[in-house]
A = this chain, B = another copy of it.
Amino acid sequence: MSLLVVGSVGYDTIITPQTTGKDLLGGSATYFAISAGYYSSVTLIGVVGEDFSPEDEALLVRRGVDISGLERVAGKTFRWTGKYGTEDVNLRDTLDLQLNVFDEFSPVLSPEQRRADYLFLANIDPEQQLKTLAQMESRPKLVAADTISIWIETRRRRLTDVLKSVDVVFMDEGEVRAFGRELNLVRAARAILDLGPVAVVAKRGEHGVLMVQRDSMFAAPAFALDSVVDPTGAGDSFAGGFMGYLAETGELSSENLRRAAVVGTVMGSFTVQALSVERLASLTRGEVEERLRGYVELTRFEGLESSEDLPWRKMASVI
């Protein structure tokens, strides 16, 4: 099935307690497309400047990403500089942000792209997300969207319009709370479900994800790693694995959304093991299968399924 992603392609400068990397290939659409590309064909809509390197373009092509919708215009590519804390690797500061050519970006879809079956609106301005949606010839089988704090603070109304039009919402847990205006994550996610989506996936960094649906919830812890180099792009790699798996399997049941969340979790776990897309872009099927087995092992427990499995003390003195 065809999968379309609209989002940023850019260069990141990353400072972590252990390492620093300058002008590394990044951007939400980049991580998403490379991750999704292992499962389904994927088309990327975005914009880069004259400084976007032929090597990075070649990398996307080599990963099977259709970049016919990646515009190249005069000016510089989107750039971001982020620093991760020494205390908590989940916390990061933006040291510098240059929208550059992304500032004027307005997605334009080709006739074929307008008929995509699966659509992912990465964390760009809600106005651009709505512009993309408006171009779709028919309603895709599934539309998912991500967002970031800045749009919750400055574009709440337009973001609400986006959320009313999509099926799956990906947000960091703090963003779910902020948008839902609720400290309790489950209630905050339900406030978003009330707008229309069938699932809210709250991303909790190294703690995994909680997927909230109307009648069920699924908690998937993160894959536990003894080395995390750079968390950048983990959420977008998660979304890529999630959407790529759904687009390939074509089934939108709650059961399959759970499997998609597990595949997404596994994909995100590779991304954080190296700077940029270094690890994510070089995966073999065997490596992903092995980690998936590791994930099943990390989370499984048996022997508590039936009532008889639970020991219970007989207490004469207790009513």
Contacts and interface: CB of A to CB of B under 8 A. Distances in A.
Interface of A: 17, 37-41, 61-64, 86-87, 89, 183-187, 190, 204, 206-208, 210, 212, 216-222, 224-228, 244-245, 248-249, 255, 258-259, 261-263, 285, 288-289, 292, 296-305, 307, 310-313, 315, 317-319
A228 B185 CA distance: 10
A187 B217 contact: no
Nearest to A225: B186
Contact of A41 (B190, B216, B259, B313): B313
A255 B303 CA distance: 9
Contact of A313 (B64, B219, B313): B64
B292 A304 contact: yes
B186 A317 contact: no
Contacts of A183: 17, 86-87, 89
Contact of A299 (B63, B299, B307, B318): B299
Contacts of A292: 304, 310
B226 A39 contact: no
B226 A208 contact: no
Nearest to A219: B221
A190 B289 contact: no
22 contacts: A17-B183, A38-B312, A39-B311, A41-B313, A86-B183, A184-B225, A207-B208, A210-B221, A212-B224, A218-B299, A218-B301, A244-B313, A245-B311, A255-B301, A255-B302, A258-B301, A259-B301, A259-B302, A263-B304, A285-B312, A288-B312, A296-B304
A313 B37 contact: yes
A258 B318 CA distance: 28
Contacts of A216: 297
A62 B248 contact: no
